[in-house]
Structure 1
Amino acid sequence: MLAHSFMSDEKKQNSPRPLILAVEDHDDNLVLMSYALESLGCRFICQKDSTNTVLVAKEYQPDLILLDILLPTISGIDVVRYLQQDALTCNIPVVAVTALASREDKERILKAGFNAYLSKPYMIEELETVIRRLLCGKIDSTSGFELCKE
């Protein structure tokens, strides 16, 4: 099965804008993520299938990965384990974005090696907060959401 990937405008250029890899199999959730990332001024790669996630991460070296857990081919937990085993990807922060919302699920997911956890449905502001925290100043301090509220 071929993995479908989409990359925002500035492909692999030396841009100061952070690059985020978003792996999500539901179109609506992917659109919401891409809207949020665009409003934050991030470049992004979107994938609907986790089959090539590790290869894409090795090639593009994203600043952050947003990873669904319940994916059709390889689970997000398995993907994060593969990422941690590779020297090229082991230091990329990974956020679990999942419908698994129990306290036990959250503990299991964070113990598997994720840097942060977001339960679906989430508010865009929650996504922004997690991204800003993990990217440590790589995003302009003005929120795209704050600009829209004016």
Structure 2
Amino acid sequence: MEECKWTVLYVEDNQLNMALVHHIFKRNLPSVLLLKAETAELGLQIAREALPDLIILDIGLPGLNGYEALEILQQDQATCHIPVLATSAFAQSSDIEKARKKGFAEYITKPFQVKAFTETVKRLLYGEDLQKI
């Protein structure tokens, strides 16, 4: 089994999306450890403890939403450097623009296109050198 070199935190309340992303990572990103949280509150706690290389954050979470969680991450010295990838079913260009203005590194719409999702994660982890994974 390949050693995990990177850590990604996925914050998502939908179990089907969680299972899909788990499968994508297992199949396409085997050198990445995937941590999971079902709420923004738990995600913030895990982010502070694990300091992942990337956070994938659903916008439409119950309780704290993705925008509120991002703001907290950005204000915390321990987590402000971590890139955050937004996910949402909202696919309007205005939704994507709002997310980028708030500080998300990228925005992926649901349902996921597996190849585009995988390449976006790789790019955020490794920059333009997609061969590292």
TM-score greater than 0.5 by the shorter chain: yes
Match of 1:104 in 2: 94
Which residue in the other structure is 1:45 paired with?
35
Letter in 1 for 2:13: D
* Matched residue, 2:7: 19
Q: Give the letter for the 2:53 counterpart.
A: D
C-alpha change, 1:82 and 1:60, in structure 2 (3 Å) is: same
- 1:115 paired with 2:105, answer yes
Match of 1:54 among 34, 44, 47: 44
Q: For 1:87-112, what per-residue CA distance to the aligned partner results, in whole angstroms no more than 9, with x for missing partners?
A: 11001010001111111111001111
Matched to 1:105, the amino acid is D
**Structure 2 matches for 1:134-145, cutoff 5 A?**
134-136=124-126, 141=131
Matched, 1:33 2:21: yes
- Which whole-Å CA distance do the structure 1 matches of 2:102 and 2:83 have between them? 13
1:86 counterpart residue number: 76
TM-score by length of 1: 0.79
| CA deviation after TM superposition for structure 1 residue 16, in Å | 4.9
Q: Say yes or no: does 1:71 pair with 2:24.
A: no
How far apart are residue 141 of structure 1 and its match?
2.8
Q: Secondary structure at the match of 2:131?
A: coil
Partner AA of 1:136 in structure 2: Y
Which structure is larger by alpha-carbon Rg, 1 or 2? 1
Separation in 2, partners of 1:49, 1:67: 10
Q: Distance in 2 between matches of 1:38 and 1:62?
A: 17
Superposition TM-score, scaled by structure 2 size: 0.89
The CA distance in 1 between the partners of 2:21 and 2:93, in whole Å, is 24
More helix by share: 2
Q: Deviations over 1:16-70 (max 9, x none)?
A: 5211100111111000111111221111111111112222101001010010000
The CA deviation at 1:140 is 7.8
Give structure 1 regions of 4+ aligned residues with deviation exceeding 2 angstroms.
Answer: 139-143
Q: Superposition RMSD on alpha carbons, in Å?
A: 1.8
Q: Which runs of 5+ in 2 are unaligned?
A: none
Q: Give the deviation of 1:142 after TM superposition.
A: 7.7
Q: Could you tell me how far 1:81 is from its partner in structure 2?
A: 0.6
Secondary structure of 2:13's aligned partner: coil
